[in-house]
Amino acid sequence: MTRRKLMQRIAAHLALLPFLIFALFPFYHMALTSLKQNRELYDRNAVPLLITKAPTLEHYTKLLWETAFLTWTKNSLLVTVLSTFVSLVIGTIAAYALSRLKFFAVGALGTGIFVTYLVPTSLLFLPLAQVVNWLGLGDSKWALVVTYPTFLVPFCTWLLMGYFRTVPKEVEGDHAARAVRILSQLATTDDEQARGRLAMRRAITARRICADGMLEAFVGPTR
């Protein structure tokens, strides 16, 4: 690397430094505040961006052991994972059908899904509340698992429709056929040891099929 290119790279990194500081400052301030003692937090003469007195873990202890923070975190993770999984499954199936299959009003249906995503969520509160009460899920975390996909599915479907349209049909058909052939060979093998060896070998092959398909989809044919 020449000296000129090195200087250009250093200048580019220095130009990004203000943006990095701007992005990381809120996290620095939150961490700093959490380690300060109460009397320092309420002291108007204290330096706001430094810890002038001894740091403390009192706030973390109170949060973890004197509140239900761990339960709240567990519930949030559960609702997030389930809502995301359900939304991705439904969105993937809907997006594939709308981008690959040809049927009456397929274009209008795709546009309608996107328009549904633009509907203000406040308009859905009353009907969703009735659905939740009808299902007997009121005042529970499962009500969130049911309601969140109503906002996520249209968005996931719209994004995945754009993705499926970029994948060539030839690549999709070729690799789908190879994947089915792998599964059929694995299912028709009687010997358990042979089945295990075949499963391992086919897993490696399937991973390569997936990588080849993504490479051909984004870069173009490699052979």
Please tell me whether residues 111 and 35 are part of one structural domain: no
Spatial CB neighbours of 29, under 8 Å, sequence gap ≥ 6: 49
Please tell me whether residues 177 and 108 are part of one structural domain: no
Higher pLDDT, residue 100 or 55: 55
* Top mean-pLDDT range of 60-74, 153-167, 176-190: 60-74
The predicted model gives 35-61 an average pLDDT of 86
The predicted model gives 54-80 an average pLDDT of 89
How far is residue 162's CA from residue 156's CA, in Å, rounded to a whole number?
10
The predicted model gives 78-105 an average pLDDT of 84
Burial track 161-179 (b if 16+ CB lie within 10 A, e otherwise): beebeebeeebeeebeeeb
**25 band by pLDDT with thresholds 50, 70 and 90:** very high
Number of folded domains in the chain? 3
Please tell me whether residues 132 and 186 are part of one structural domain: no
Exposed (0-12), middle (13-18) or buried (19+): which is 138, by Cβ within 10 Å?
Answer: exposed
Please tell me whether residues 162 and 182 are part of one structural domain: no
Domain ends where: 146, 166, 186? 166
Please tell me whether residues 95 and 179 are part of one structural domain: no
Please tell me whether residues 56 and 120 are part of one structural domain: no
* CA atoms 136, 138, 139, 142: torsion sign: positive
**206 band by pLDDT with thresholds 50, 70 and 90:** very low
How confident is the model at residue 202, as a pLDDT?
A: 45
**166 band by pLDDT with thresholds 50, 70 and 90:** confident
Please tell me whether residues 125 and 190 are part of one structural domain: no
How far is residue 137's CA from residue 12's CA, in Å, rounded to a whole number?
54
Tell me the three state secondary structure of residue 37.
coil
**18 band by pLDDT with thresholds 50, 70 and 90:** very high
How far is residue 206's CA from residue 208's CA, in Å, rounded to a whole number?
5
* Gyration radius (Cα) of the chain, Å: 27
Q: Poorest-confidence range of 36-45, 73-82, 113-122, 165-174?
A: 165-174
Exposed (0-12), middle (13-18) or buried (19+): which is 156, by Cβ within 10 Å?
Answer: buried
Provide the token pair at 45.
């003469």
pLDDT value at 198 more than 70: no
Closest CA to 153 of 102, 78, 85: 85
Which residue range is the domain that position 118 belongs to?
A: 68-166
How confident is the model at residue 53, as a pLDDT?
A: 83
Where is 150: in which H helix or E strand? helix 142-166
C-alpha distances (whole Å) from 151 to each of 74, 114, 146, 201, 218 are 22, 11, 10, 41, 29
Name the average pLDDT for the chain.
76
How confident is the model at residue 210, as a pLDDT?
A: 47
DSSP character for 121?
Answer: G
Domain ends where: 66, 90, 119? 66
**214 band by pLDDT with thresholds 50, 70 and 90:** very low
